Structure 1
Amino acid sequence: MMRESGRKRRARDRVSEADPPTVSCCMFILFEALCFTPSVMLLGWAVYYAGGFAWDGSHKQFNWHPFCMCLAMATFFSNSIVAYRIFPFHRRTRKFIHALMHLMTLFVALIGLTAVFLNHQRQSIPHLYSLHSWCGLAVICLAGMQWLCGLLTFVFPLFSAGKRADFKPWHVRIGHLIFFGAIATCLIGINEKMSFLGNHTHTHSDGETILSDLTAKHHKPAMRYSDLPNEAVLCNVIGMILVLLAGVVFSISSQPDYTSGEKMRGFQLVSSG
């Protein structure tokens, strides 16, 4: 009897691992729309307002920075955060998606960081002088350590099951902290970039202040962020979408953790009756 009960329990556990996610189809569509829309809008901003992309040290190389960072944090990182709740796959598949999305976050973010560092070096602009740059570097470093800790703890477990269970809540909390910090950093970056609108000057090492290529070729000198031109409206909308995305991620991730099929079915029965 005990052996039969054990087999039934293991079979039930295998079924529960492939249970559907806890969010509805409408929430899933809303979430993914909010994930991809800011990146698409920033792509349009870079092409239409900022001259497109290049890798030559000019302002066009800088354009890779906001696009890559938004793609990394808003698209990949947010999917990593809620992977266990929105994808209707086996638990191991969801774990793989979670780790892969986090790895893609780091890879794309490093491209964005490289672009801005090389651009600043070419244009003789100081590195890491603003609040945005400090917060961004902290977020990237924490995200890298979070991925490494998760890899060693859950993918290639170096610790006992008890220690993994103790670490899991902290892994979740720290992941959410990094994500919301990333969204805040994106908002600071958008505001910082728009504050330069119509005032694109920088100082060379010899003290000479010159206008950048961006002002000369792609902006009207009299245009200011406070005048709310179309570019400023677009970037404000991107910022609001990022705030909505953070709210949806919080809503999804704060739901009760119904990981087993019986708990899920029980929740549905209680909700319906």
Structure 2
Amino acid sequence: MGSASLVLFARLSGLVIAVLVVYWALLLVPHQGLTYSTLHPLLMVIGFILVSGEAILIHRWLPGSRKTKKAVHLWLQGMALVSAVFGIWTKFQYQSGVFSNFYSLHSWMGLLSVSLFAAQWVTGFMSFWHRGEVRTTRTTFLPWHVFLGLYTYGLAIATAETGLLEKLTFLQTNKNVPRRCHESTVVNGLGLGLVLLSGVVITAAILPKYQNSHSGNEKLVYSSQDRPKCLTS
């Protein structure tokens, strides 16, 4: 599967996930509406995961210079970070106390993934606007930036999966929904969609680019530091 096909598949998967999470949060649960409880999955799935995934794919499809791609990547990641911060903020709005909702594995993983994401964004911002660093230092840091970026994205997906499982288990334990019902199917479908999306996005990020040479043969495209351009940021 080529790069363009992976990007298209990721976009279609993201669209299905967005529709499912909106349907589940706003339409499937009766008389709930737009509350802190429904804002949390909307912000974390659409605003954080889908937008950050799109930022990862920027280097695969956006035309223009490397500087332009890095700028768009940076600002999309900034939007994702703002959504994540507000998504966590919604969990502080319950009457039972500030830290009462941060006791589970889901909450701990969420705090870790957002903290790592924030650190990644700050280092990316500093690297983009301050170009006086020694080139060897930037080259050495690049693989770690890529690794931590993909690791954080995968951690965010895993956090969302634990959140879906936690919510569904809570509803079934309290007999609000039966084990086999329409809502369970939607939540399980959302979880599978997130797993599929993460695989497509990460694959698109790590595969080297190909282009046709003048001889008609395909060749790998590398940057001046002998690193794949698709991994630069």
Tell me if TM exceeds 0.5.
Answer: yes
- 1:1-273 map, 5 Å: 23-24=3-4, 26-50=5-29, 51-54=31-34, 60-119=35-94, 122-124=95-97, 126-200=100-174, 221=175, 223-224=177-178, 227-256=179-208, 258=209, 264-266=211-213, 269-271=216-218
| Paired AA for residue 31 in structure 1 | A
Sort the Cα spacing of 1:269 and 1:47 in 2 relative to 1 into closer, same or farther, 3 A: same
Encode CA deviations 1:166-194: one digit per residue, 9 max, x unaligned. 11111111100000000000101000011
Q: Which has the larger radius of gyration?
A: 1
* Cα distance, 1:271 vs structure 2: 4.4
Normalising by structure 1, report the TM-score: 0.72
Sort the Cα spacing of 1:185 and 1:154 in 2 relative to 1 into closer, same or farther, 3 A: same
Give the total of aligned pairs. Answer: 216
* Cα distance, 1:267 vs structure 2: 10
* Cα distance, 1:162 vs structure 2: 1.8
| Paired AA for residue 86 in structure 1 | W
| Paired AA for residue 79 in structure 2 | M
Encode CA deviations 1:181-235: one digit per residue, 9 max, x unaligned. 00000101000011111445xxxxxxxxxxxxxxxxxxxx4633xx221001001
In the alignment, the residues of structure 2 paired with residue 72 and residue 44 of structure 1 have an alpha-carbon distance, to the nearest angstrom, of 16
**Aligned 8 A contact 1:31 1:248 in 2:** yes
**Aligned 8 A contact 2:36 2:90 in 1:** yes
In the alignment, the residues of structure 2 paired with residue 241 and residue 269 of structure 1 have an alpha-carbon distance, to the nearest angstrom, of 38
Q: Which runs of 5+ in 1 are unaligned?
A: 1-21, 55-59, 201-220
* Cα distance, 1:114 vs structure 2: 1.0
**Aligned 8 A contact 2:77 2:121 in 1:** yes
Matched with 2:230 is none
**Aligned 8 A contact 1:194 1:232 in 2:** yes
In the alignment, the residues of structure 2 paired with residue 96 and residue 184 of structure 1 have an alpha-carbon distance, to the nearest angstrom, of 28
| Paired AA for residue 138 in structure 1 | L
Percent of pairs identical after alignment? Answer: 27
| Paired AA for residue 177 in structure 1 | Y
* Cα distance, 1:251 vs structure 2: 1.6
In the alignment, the residues of structure 2 paired with residue 239 and residue 268 of structure 1 have an alpha-carbon distance, to the nearest angstrom, of 45
Q: Secondary structure at the match of 1:46?
A: helix
| Paired AA for residue 126 in structure 1 | S
Normalising by structure 2, report the TM-score: 0.84
Compute the RMSD of aligned alpha carbons.
Answer: 2.3
Matched with 1:203 is none
